[in-house]
Amino acid sequence: MIKHGRETLVKMTDAGKYVVKEPLPGRGIAQKREWLTRQHVAADTIQQLSNIGNDAYGVPCVKSIDDANFRVIEERVDGVPLSPLLFRRMDSITRGRIIDALAAFYADMHTINPIPNRIEYKMDYELDVGALTDFVDTDMKKIFPAGDIKFMEKTIDRVSDKSYETRLVWSHGDLFEENVLYDFKTKKFNVIDFTEVGTAFLHYDMMTAYPYDLGIVDELRRRYIARRGAKNLPADFTDDARWARIKKFHDAAVALQNMNSYVYDLENADNVARKKLVAHIRQQIQKLKQYEK
Ligand SMILES: Nc1ncnc2c1ncn2[C@@H]1O[C@H](COP(=O)(O)OP(=O)(O)O)[C@@H](O)[C@H]1O
Ligand SMILES: [Mg+2]
C-alpha cells in the first residue's frame, strides 16, 4: 500500500512492522535535503518522547535514516484519522481518555525541550485579514448597514490590538486529523508526522487548530495544568478569567479569518454564490457581536 501526505511518499504493508518514507517524486535536490533535515529533527523529537515512555499516547520510533538515499524507516502505526466528527461520536469515557492523551502529549513535548522565557503574544501575529479590511473600507457599504461597517472597523482594530503573556513551547506543528491515528483495537492514541516540529506559542498551540476543531480547548488546558503544575506557567494561562478572556480574542480572530476568506471568494462569485457568501458574512458578524457580550 502506498500513501502520501503533502511531501512524503509512504510505503507499507498490512503485515509489515515498518513503513518506508521517501520525499515525493519530482523533488529537487535542495528540497530533498531540506526534507531529510526535518526527518532528523522529527526522529530526535520522537526519540526523546519514547525515552519518557508515557503510554498514554503512541509515537512511531524511527528505525533508521538512510541519508544517501533519502529514505526513512519507521514503525508502522495502526489506526484511523481521528476527525472531529469521529471524535464527537465517541462515548464520553473514550473522549476523556483522548483528551488526557493529548494533554500528556503536550506536557511531554514541552518537557523534552523546555523554553523558559515568557513572551508577549500579539493577536495581529495570526490575523491575516487584508481582503476583509479592504472590503470594510469599500464594497461593504453597498450591502451592509452603516452600523455593521462601524462595528467591523472597531472589531478588527480591537482584536488586532490585544496581547497577552504566554511562552514559547516545543510543538508538533502539524497536529490535525491526518496525523493523529486512533486505534480502536488497542484504544491507542497515536501521533505521527513530526516533520513540522518547532517552536510555537503555548496559548496558540492549545486554542487553535486541532483542539479547537475537536471542541476540547478548556478541558485540554485543565488536564494539561494538572500534569504540569501551575507554578511555571504564566497567569494569563492558569487564571480562569484571563484564559476565558483570551479565548474570546481567539474566537473572534477565527470569525474574522472566516470572513476574510468569504470576502476573498466574493470576487469571483456568481449571483447564487454571492448570496450564500453574504449570508455567511452576516452570520460571522452575529458571532462577533456575541463575543462582545
Ligand atoms: N508510521 C506510520 N504508520 C502508519 N501510517 C503512516 C505512518 N507514517 C505515515 N503514515 C501514513 O502516510 C501518510 C503521510 O505520511 P506523513 O508522514 O504524514 O507525510 P507528510 O509529511 O507528507 O504529511 C499519513 O497521513 C499516514 O496515513
Ligand atoms: Mg502528514
For the domain that residue 68 is a member of, what is the CATH number? 3.30.200.20
Q: Are residues 148 and 272 in the same domain?
A: yes
pLDDT of residue 117: 87
Whether residue 174 lies inside any domain: the answer is yes
**Any domain includes 99:** no
Atom in ligand 1 nearest the alpha carbon of residue 5: 22
Instruction: Kindly list the protein residues that place their beta carbon closer than 5 angstroms to ligand 2, a single-atom ion.
Output: 5, 179, 193
pLDDT at residue 74 in the model: 97
Question: Which atom in ligand 1 lies closest to the alpha carbon of residue 7?
Answer: 22
Tallying the residues shown for the chain, one arrives at: 293
Instruction: Note the pLDDT of residue 71.
Output: 97
Question: Which ligand is nearest the CA of 58, by number?
Answer: 1
Distance from the CA of 37 to the center of ligand 1, in angstroms? 17
Note whether 120 and 22 are same-domain residues: no
Same domain, 185 and 66: no
For residue 6, how far is its CA from the centre of ligand 2 (angstroms)?
A: 7
* Ligand 1 atom having least distance to the Cα of 75: 1
d(CA 76, CA 19): 5
Q: Which residue has the cell 523546555?
A: 114
Which atom belonging to ligand 1 lies closest to the Cα atom of 77? Answer: 3
| Whether residue 72 sits in one domain with residue 122 | no
Read off the CATH number of the domain in which 180 is found.
Answer: 3.90.1200
Pocket test residue of 4, 8, 10 for ligand 1, highest count of atoms within 8 A of CB: 10
Final residue before a domain boundary, out of 76, 92, 125:
76
- For 51-77, letters b (16+ CB in 10 Å) and e give eeebebbbbbebeebeeeebbbebbbb
Give me ligand 2 centre to Cα 37, in Å.
16
As a whole number of angstroms, the distance between CA 55 and CA 61 comes to 13
Which of 55, 76, 97 is the last residue in one of the domains? 76
Range of the domain at 32: 2-76
Residue type, 16: G
Q: Does residue 138 sit in the same domain as residue 63?
A: no
- Closest listed ligand to the CA of 175: 2
Q: Are residues 71 and 192 in the same domain?
A: no
Measured in Å, residue 196 CA sits from the centre of ligand 1 at 13
Clarify whether residues 283 and 195 are in a common domain: yes
Final residue of a structural domain among 54, 76, 98: 76
Same domain membership, residue 286 and residue 143: yes
Residue 222 inside a domain? The answer is: yes
* Per-residue model confidence (pLDDT) at position 116: 87
189 and 126 in one domain?
yes
Low-confidence stretches of the chain (pLDDT beneath 50): none
19 in ligand 1 pocket by Cβ < 6 Å?
yes
Concatenating the DSSP letter of every residue in the chain gives: -EEE-SSEEEEE-SS-SEEEEEEPTT--HHHHHHHHHHHHHHHHHHHHHHHHT-TTSB-PPEEEEETTTTEEEEE----EE--HHHHHHS-HHHHHHHHHHHHHHHHHHHHHS----EEEEEGGGT---HHHHHHHHTTHHHHS-HHHHHHHHHHHHHHHH-EEEEEEEEE-S--SGGGEEEETTTTEEEE---TT-EEEEHHHHHHSHHHHHHT-HHHHHHHHHHHH-STTS-HHHH-HHHHHHHHHHHHHHHHHHHHHHHHHHHTT--HHHHHHHHHHHHHHHHHHHHHH-
Q: Is residue 112 part of a domain?
A: yes
pLDDT at position 25 is: 93
The gap from C-alpha 4 to its chain's centroid, in whole angstroms, comes to: 20
Burial of 280 (0-12, 13-18, 19+ CB in 10 A): middle
Dist CA 190 CA 78 (whole Å): 8
Q: Is 58 in the pocket of ligand 1 (CB under 6 A)?
A: no
Say what the pTM is. Answer: 0.91
Per the domain annotation, does 273 fall within a domain? yes
Q: How many whole angstroms from 4 Cα to the centroid of ligand 2?
A: 8
My answer on whether 176 and 258 are in the same domain is yes
pLDDT on residue 227: 95
Asked whether residue 91 is domain-assigned, the answer is no
Whether residue 57 is found in the same domain as residue 184:
no
Residues 185 and 279 in one domain: yes
Q: Is residue 94 part of a domain?
A: no
Q: Is residue 83 included in any domain, yes or no?
A: no
Looking at the 3D structure of the chain, how many domains does it have?
2
Q: Say yes or no: CB of residue 122 within 6 Å of ligand 1.
A: no
